[in-house]
Chain A
Amino acid sequence: GESVGLHLPTLSVQEGDNSIINCAYSNSASDYFIWYKQESGKGPQFIIDIRSNMDKRQGQRVTVLLNKTVKHLSLQIAATQPGDSAVYFCAENRDSSYKLIFGSGTRLLVRP
């Protein structure tokens, strides 16, 4: 498969463990955040989103936490599975603008 980036930070977890992927953003005006998953050879896939008036949002096996004080976003994946292996991107929308700004990504490797 193709690489999204050669120098991505990598998180390696054991199958069944929980994973936490972190993202820092710099613009305090950002008001909407999204996590995407990108598997090899595919486009980014929407996982979960959160607005700035929330601190936490849960989906199926995933939770997003937003700490506006320190401009930090995290994605928690419960009971990580081999199919979760991918590159994960956070993206921010600033001031209800028209474009999303993507972070550099984190590669998640799940060990069987």
Chain B
Amino acid sequence: DSGVTQTPKHLITATGQRVTLRCSPRSGDLSVYWYQQSLDQGLQFLIQYYNGEERAKGNILERFSAQQFPDLHSELNLSSLELGDSALYFCASSGGLSSYNSPLHFGNGTRLTVT
């Protein structure tokens, strides 16, 4: 068990809808990362937060947004969903500001299916 908790495990929704994915990092970790994993893209970095502030952005669509709350849990909001958004969404946490020398520990993901 990595100590990173993601909810829900599965989510099925229709195109055009909006969903929120939740992540609780490992106790003591200040950094939260979101990754998307689809069959043809592998693991793609979306965004990172450190102690409540956005620190790095990757291939995140404008329809997607995230935030990290004072208790350090994070939410990833996906709106105007399209079929191509169907994927596994992983949250990871680490203790440091950078992923350098501070391995990311992943949750078990949320499987999003858009129909």
Q: Point out residues on A near B: beta carbons under 8 Å.
A: 2-6, 31-32, 34, 36, 41-46, 49, 51, 89, 91, 93, 96-105
Q: Do A43 and B100 touch across chains, with their CB atoms under 8 A apart? A: no
Given contacts A5-B40, A99-B58, contact A43 B98 (CB under 8 A): no
For the A-B complex with A5-B42, A49-B103 known, give 18 more contacts whose Cβ atoms are closer than 8 Å: A4-B39, A32-B99, A36-B106, A42-B109, A43-B107, A44-B43, A46-B104, A89-B43, A96-B100, A97-B56, A98-B48, A98-B56, A99-B99, A100-B45, A100-B99, A101-B45, A102-B42, A102-B43
Q: How many Å lie between the Cα of A103 and that of B41 in the bound state? A: 10
- Please, which residues of chain A bring their CB within 8 A of the CB of B72? none
Interface size bracket, B side: 20 to 34
Q: Are A43 and B2 in contact (CB under 8 A)?
A: yes
Q: A45-B106, A51-B101 are in contact. Are A3 and B39 (CB under 8 A)?
A: yes
Q: Which 5 A-B pairs have the closest CB atoms?
A: A43-B106, A98-B56, A102-B43, A96-B100, A99-B45
